[in-house]
Amino acid sequence: MRSVSDESKLKLGDSFDIDGEIWVWAHIIPGLEVKLRSENAPDRHLIMSVDEFLRHAGTAQRERAVSLRPDGDAWPTNVCDMEAHLLEAFTGRPMDPLASTPRAQYDPALTTQNARVDAKLLELKGTSLGRARSTFHLLWKTYQQDGAAGLNARMHRKGEQRLAISRADPRLVTIIDRFLDRQTDKATSSKKRCAVLVRRALETTYPGDPICEIKARTLQGYINERAAGRYSFDKATTRRNTDNSPKRQYHSGAAYQLGERCEIDSTDLDVLVWDETSEFRPKLTVLLDVASRVPLAWAIHADSPGGFDHALLLARAIIGRKAVPGSGAATLSGSAALPSALMKQVNPYLSDESLALPWIFPRSITIDGGADFRSRTFRDACRAYGIHRELAPSGTPTVKPHVERNFGTLSSDFAAWLAGFVGNSVAHRGARDNPTLTLDSLRLILDSWISNIYLNKPHQGLKSTSSPGRIFTPNQMYTELFSVGPGVPVPFGVEEYLALLPTERRMIGRAGIDLHNRRYDSPDLEDLRSRSLTGAEPGSARARKFPVSFDPYNANAVWVRHPETGLWIECWDVALREKTAPMVAEIDMKLLTRYPDAAIDDPDRRREWIDHVESRERGDKRKRTQHKREQQRLKVEAQRESGPSTTTPIPLRQWAKPVDISTIDWTSPDIHLAQAEELDP
């Protein structure tokens, strides 16, 4: 008859589920009755007969001290080797899996068990698996009960894992927590100072108590453990941001429909740009969809944006935006990942020249307490199109974590690769200035990066419950969600969008429209060039000025409405070639200087000078100083070369003639003869 292992036997201390309540086996009178105590109320007991008790044996529970699975892919090597040695010594099974018969000293038909054990102990002597006879038998018994898991538990003993603070006096823990909580909004101090303050509080609160005699090393260990995760001795900003996190279990805050939840926020971009003879960090505003992680719209501002700027941003998100010709940004006509045909049906204002950006209508936007987001202009724009604004509580950036994390992605994956990157703090800046981009160039590069790279890069937050091992891109997630519920078309057209834009009156000349130091033109302006409007004296300057609508933060195009047909004419900046390739004007000037007979558009010459100009680092102060010194040196050399070519003799003065030594009066007090001692150093 096969014996039952100890692991399968009922033991005192086992727990049983009886009528939905957990009872612990406390005592037994053999053959008569069993006594159990309640796990929740130790003073309650239950007495039942052995037969009735055995009917609940199937609900027995026991904390298993032996892990049934290895920590890694397999058991440790020494455990597997010991298992093979035990089986060979006690059962005769060969260690070599290809052997057909056991070795002679381990053959059960020829040897006894004691002889096999003696041979195995002699074989293992001097190795890492060498054990005493009693230990070897104990390992075999353990293997019979728990298999390789039991061997692993005995050969790799792990002490009971407990928190060090669990051994501390609760009064000490309370005082430590009190001081660490007070440190949240204060300046960062040292751990030594905290230990001194805790010890003073102990001596004041519990004078003469042994708790005051705690060792300094032990006290410091308790402080370190309680400070874990609070950043009490790290950066103050990190400590305050961590304290803003909710003191509860996190919830995902995920959305499962396009536009169901959107988040908007502004931040300083970690790049220095050059504009109007000054360098500064621009402001970046992003409106992000939570379900697909698609940025509905974005804008780069030279100054802090206001409610009017956010209203324009909302308009761009609703009607879409066109790609700047020659900028390298992906267009909707060339996108294979987006459902272009369905998108055009839902939003008729999208065209083939639009940015390859998923179109999403925001139904709810989470904002913070900034005055620009709570402004009347932005509020009225949201109300006009039925968009709900959700105000996040004060000091809780975790309410809109997706757009905050998106800013980190923009910094690490986009800004860090640009000229002029400065990091997110002064401590991360370099010792020298870096070359910088213009504000317009940065806007064009961001459009290209989002449409070509970000939207087609796998995002760790975009996963499906049906296939959790697969990671989707924002475009892929948008396509799947769009096929389920693309939303309803929004009656938002060009009229509504241009109504939000400011206007200025300008004359339309033969060369186009001059506005804000830029020139715009379009072939459709032929009927309006040098024409006069009614309502003013014909031919006057006032009559020849047309209202021109423009976007303050997108200087690539302006719009003019034809006074007769009522159609809007889109006029693009004629200098887009210079914008799409930074420093083209400087390259052209250098080409003309170096190659006066060559064509400016020669691609080989242009590529050579692009490499030269980009490596010059025009913003480097040190190189600029060296350049000035070199120019000054060349100027001085030029002046020297332009001087007289012949020398003019200069007459020597009379006192410069040699003196006759015989005429010197050596006894005169005006002459001092130095002694040898005076000359000796």
pLDDT digits (tens, 9 = 90+) for 245-268: 777 766 666 788 888 899 999 999
pLDDT of 507 strictly over 90 = no
d(CA 387, CA 296): 14
Contacts of 384 (CB under 8 A, 6+ apart): none
Of all residues in the chain, the percent with pLDDT exceeding 90 is: 13
Structure-model confidence comparison of residues 132 and 611, the more confident one: 132
Phi, psi for residue 193 in degrees, rounded to 5: -65, -40
Say what the pLDDT of residue 509 is: 84
Say what the pLDDT of residue 29 is: 77
Structure-model confidence comparison of residues 64 and 425, the more confident one: 425
Say what the pLDDT of residue 30 is: 75
Say what the pLDDT of residue 7 is: 54
Structure-model confidence comparison of residues 444 and 246, the more confident one: 444
Mean pLDDT computed over 89-97: 88
Structure-model confidence comparison of residues 158 and 455, the more confident one: 455
Say what the pLDDT of residue 200 is: 93
Say what the pLDDT of residue 600 is: 44
Average pLDDT over the chain, rounded to whole? 78
pLDDT per residue over 192-228, tens digit each? 999 999 999 999 999 988 889 899 998 998 898 888 8
Which of helix, strand or coil describes residue 560?
Answer: strand
Say what the pLDDT of residue 618 is: 46
Written as one string, the DSSP assignment of 105-118 is: GG-TTTS-HHHHHH
Cβ neighbours around 447 below 10 Å, total: 23
Structure-model confidence comparison of residues 130 and 353, the more confident one: 130
Range of weakest confidence among 504-513, 531-540, 605-614, 661-670: 605-614
Residue 367: name the closest of 388, 391, 399, 383 by CA. Answer: 391
Alpha carbon 230 to its chain centroid, in Å, reads: 20
Say what the pLDDT of residue 8 is: 59
d(CA 236, CA 188): 6
d(CA 112, CA 91): 11
Say what the pLDDT of residue 152 is: 84
Structure-model confidence comparison of residues 177 and 631, the more confident one: 177
Say what the pLDDT of residue 670 is: 64
Say what the pLDDT of residue 551 is: 82
How many residues in total does the chain contain? Answer: 681
Range of weakest confidence among 368-382, 525-539, 650-664: 650-664
Structure-model confidence comparison of residues 576 and 672, the more confident one: 576
Say what the pLDDT of residue 1 is: 44
Say what the pLDDT of residue 198 is: 93
Strand partners, 514: 519
482: region left, alpha or beta (phi > 0 left; psi from -120 to 50 alpha): alpha
* Pair 549, 505: CB distance under 8 Å: no
Say what the pLDDT of residue 586 is: 56
Alpha carbon 137 to its chain centroid, in Å, reads: 56
Say what the pLDDT of residue 581 is: 52
Contacts of 572 (CB under 8 A, 6+ apart): 325, 520, 521, 522, 556, 557
Range of weakest confidence among 75-79, 93-97, 464-468, 554-558: 464-468
pLDDT per residue over 173-200, tens digit each? 999 999 998 888 899 999 999 999 999 9
Question: If pLDDT is split at 50, 70 and 90, which confidence band does 517 have?
Answer: confident
CA angle, residues 341, 342, 343, in degrees to nearest 5: 90
d(CA 416, CA 54): 70
Say what the pLDDT of residue 118 is: 92
pLDDT per residue over 383-398, tens digit each? 888 899 998 887 777 7
Say what the pLDDT of residue 121 is: 92
